Structure formats: structure tokens, C-alpha cells
Amino acid sequence: MALTAHQVTLITESFKKVEPISLKAAEIFYDTLFSYDPSLKSLFKGDMKQQGRKLMAMLHAAVSTLNAPEQLLPVLQQLAKRHEGYGVKKSHFTPVGNALLHTLKVGLGDDFTPETRAAWVALLHFVADTMKAEMAA
């Protein structure tokens, strides 16, 4: 993964600041996502609070294995296969990534520096590229 040690620190430290407000962050995330593309709403069948918790738990797992991407790889590959089953397409990663960056911006305020943003962009590209490689469409 093309992340420097400093970027790993920036991601870990910034995520720690979002975790205490994770329910709120998840709410901002889904509101933003559905404002970008309301048609994505129909893909989500479960309770959105529960879904928000799962998303934050997954991000937590991703962030905590940043120093061992070989552990993250199989997890992301399986996650991608399940997402195919949910009807997710490769093109959906752009609005999802943008909604996540917006959430971090709102949640972190001034702490979301250009350097921290760049680190998150690098991580999101890694996650999205890894997942998309497993998906047919």
C-alpha cells in the first residue's frame, strides 16, 4: 500500500477523533451519500443505525491494520464479493469515497488538514482499488 508511516499516523490520529462521534458521523455519511445519488438508497435494506455501526467497525478494522496490509487484503476481497451480492457496482465507490471525505471534513473541522485529507484519499484509493479488482461490474 502506497502510504507513508506519517500518513498512517495522520489517519490513525484523525480517526480517533471521529470515533467518539461515530453514530453522528455515520448519519452525516449516509445523508451526504444519498444527496449525491438518491438511487443508492434502495440498495440498503437493513436498519441504518446498524449499518452505520458496521461501517465504522469496518473502518476501525481497516485503520488498525494499516501497518499490516497483508491482513487487510483478504478481508477487503471478501467484503467486495459480499458487496456484489448487495448490488454494488464499481462506479459506486466514487460517491461513497466523496461522502466519506465530506464526513471527515465536517467531523474534524480544522484538524482535517490538506495533509490528513491526502492520507485518507490514498487509503480510500487502496480500499476501492482492491475491492473493485474483485468485482465484475
Contact set with ligand HEM (CB under 6 A): 40, 43-46, 51, 54-55, 58, 79, 82-83, 86, 88, 92-93, 96, 127
Q: At what angle do helices 93-108 and 114-133 cross, to 10 degrees?
A: 150
Q: Which is nearer to ligand HEM, 93 or 112 (CB)?
A: 93
> Rounded to an integer, what distance in angstroms lies between the CA atom of residue 134 and that of residue 105?
29
Q: How far is the CB of 52 from ligand HEM (least distance, A)?
A: 10
Nearer to ligand HEM, 27 or 110 (CB): 27
CB of 58: closest distance to ligand HEM in angstroms?
3
Least spacing, CB of residue 115 vs ligand HEM, in Å = 21
In this complex, which beta carbon is closest to ligand HEM, that of residue 52 or of residue 116? 52
Answer yes or no: are the C-beta atoms of 81 and 131 closer than 8 Å.
no
Q: Which three cell numbers stand for residue 55?
A: 461501517
- Identify the helix (H) or strand (E) that includes residue 61: helix 48-64
Cα separation, 27 vs 136, in Å, equals 30
Q: How far is the CB of 55 from ligand HEM (least distance, A)?
A: 5
